[in-house]
Structure 1
């Protein structure tokens, strides 16, 4: 039995999936199996994977979405530990070794997390994301306030995934956030490996660019979470704060991907969760947008935002008397 099962859900991944596989085969840790679930690709993904068939477990299924593909991979996995890798991401050489060692040192934990490097389509560095600085303790409060989920940068104890159940296939963009929330509510503990271990590729076909779906799903996941009756009182006390920052982050994602009207709608909703004046809220939104943009290695154009019709309409709405 392999110690680690690495699951790659593949859908029309002909462009990058070979690089993802090569990065696994180049790991300093080798006690692993690679499971690739082809989720009904219509491009040359199957042909690209042919040379790797003696090194991977390959299965095909009709297109049912990334959650269903991951669930299929988990059903086949034999490893004690589970890692997920998106078809366009790349593992750095010590990723598996570092995280397996962390599990060995901390038998009580169910998740190991690490940082990631944003790169462009050609692999050029954009920015390093080191979430442990803002969320040093990934307890339930830490996850909810920051929710730094990137499955490619994580590793899970298989027994915990069996306990929590499958990814929720109703979600196309937020099934990862939803399953992590369920794990933490069950008492699953997380430890950091405070190093960059994966390259998270940004390109024009990223699923995460479908931010209209992403926004709706992220908010639905949070609504479902806070509708639970078993939330600890300490978490209930930070509910409004969590909702506020989630809405502002969603608004930035929408603006970042060219949906200013929808951005305004989420910012209006955020205002109801923050006891600040409306002028203070406007200033804070600009500051947060700048911070989120900087995390992606980009300079935020404040003037472009504040002069946009959507922002001007938002300002006029918020400064109305009463």
Structure 2
């Protein structure tokens, strides 16, 4: 096969004040065993040294600077520029393992009916030290529409898309600052875009003090808003509409864990209390499920839940009294 026959992959990297890690992200694409890829960096109004650190890469990337408009806008700008049949999104502080693109393109070519490939990711700290691996295919072996709605194992940097489907979905909703990925994946699944697992880790997700995801108040607000938008649609199949209570419950418990992790304890309690409206369990069973979910989420992200600390919180104890007594 000649170079011109090899499918082009467009790797879109949205950047905002990313001078510390972005060169590692770019190097990880340049070092891929799959070499037929273009790199598009959309700088969303950085005020640090991002433009300067990218100057040595001018010959091998497309770089656009725009006024700060949010990550959804930056990704959409990248999509407008992309020439590839396949699209990969890579956050500025993440790192692709060397065979990511080769393995995912091969998966796409062997299964022409699919529009997305998903894989696992490794949690690392700011220095790249291994914290844990996330392998969602164990809990969600089939990524059909109900699974996306109920579990949403979303991480864009671990995925590869056919450009056709992203254009069918009209890209990202720029009104979401953090939940645009969830909104997009819901819409793609509803359109009939099929997903296959590549059951191995293909990317590093770096945790550090400047992660956007640490703004968990905004994250949980948008997680709820995304569900509102989805379940207000008039074109939902009835079987999917019936999943709303369980989806709402799962969203609230996940949000509560994220809020606990970042110290928003009052908001954590509020989410858990709200989840009682949607729980499929008896109340005592619900409390046990909260603990199980918190433990499982923590383990997936390389952490151990300190159950004694959690259950000793005054807010937790008061919630427990209101819930089971």
Tell me how large the CA RMSD over aligned residues is: 1.1
> What does the per-residue CA deviation read over 1:173-231, in whole Å, with 9 as the maximum and x for residues that have no partner?
10011011111111101111111000000111100010000000011101111111222
Tell me if 1:231 matches 2:197: no
Deviations 1:116-165 (A, max 9, x none): 00011111111111111111111101111210111100011001111110
| Aligned-partner Cα distance in 1 for 2:196–2:292 | 30
Matched, 1:28 2:55: no
Tell me how far apart the structure 1 counterparts of residues 120 and 241 of structure 2 sit (CA, whole Å). Answer: 28
2:206 to 175, 197, 201: 201
Structure 2 counterpart SS, 1:37: strand
1:38 aligned onto 2:16: no
Matches of 1:173 and 1:12 in 2, distance apart? 16
Aligned residues: 320
2:129 to 124, 128, 143: 124
Aligned partners of 1:49, 1:183: CA distance in 2, in Å?
33
Structure 1 residue ranges, 4+ long, deviating more than 6 angstroms after superposition: none
- 2:114 aligns to what SS in structure 1? coil
Aligned partners of 2:176 and 2:280: how far apart in 1?
32
Any residues of structure 2 matched to 1:119-198 within 5 Å, and which?
A: 119-198=124-203
- The runs of 5 or more residues in structure 2 that have no matched partner are none
Cα deviation, 1:208-264, whole Å, max 9, x if unaligned, reads 010000000011101111111222222223221111111101101000111010001
* Cα distance in 2, alignment partners of residues 156 and 211 from structure 1: 27
Residue aligned with 1:252, SS: helix
The structure-2 alpha-carbon separation of the partners of 1:296 and 1:238, relative to structure 1 and needing over 3 Å to count, comes to same
Listed as ranges, the matches of 1:54-93 within 5 Å are 54-93=59-98
Which of 98, 113, 118 matches 1:113? Answer: 118
Question: Cα offset for 1:269?
Answer: 0.9
In the alignment, the residues of structure 1 paired with residue 67 and residue 141 of structure 2 have an alpha-carbon distance, to the nearest angstrom, of: 40
**What SS does the aligned partner of 1:204 have?**
coil
SS in 1 for 2:34: coil
Structure-2 separation of matches of 1:28 and 1:160: 25
Q: Which residue of 1 aligns with 2:106?
A: 101
Aligned to 2:314: 309
Compute the TM-score of the two structures, normalised by the length of structure 2: 0.96
Secondary structure class of the residue paired with 1:110: strand
Deviation at 1:275, TM superposition (A): 4.2
Q: Is 2:60 the counterpart of 1:52?
A: no
Gaps of 5+ in 1: none
Q: Aligned partners of 2:226 and 2:280: how far apart in 1?
A: 24
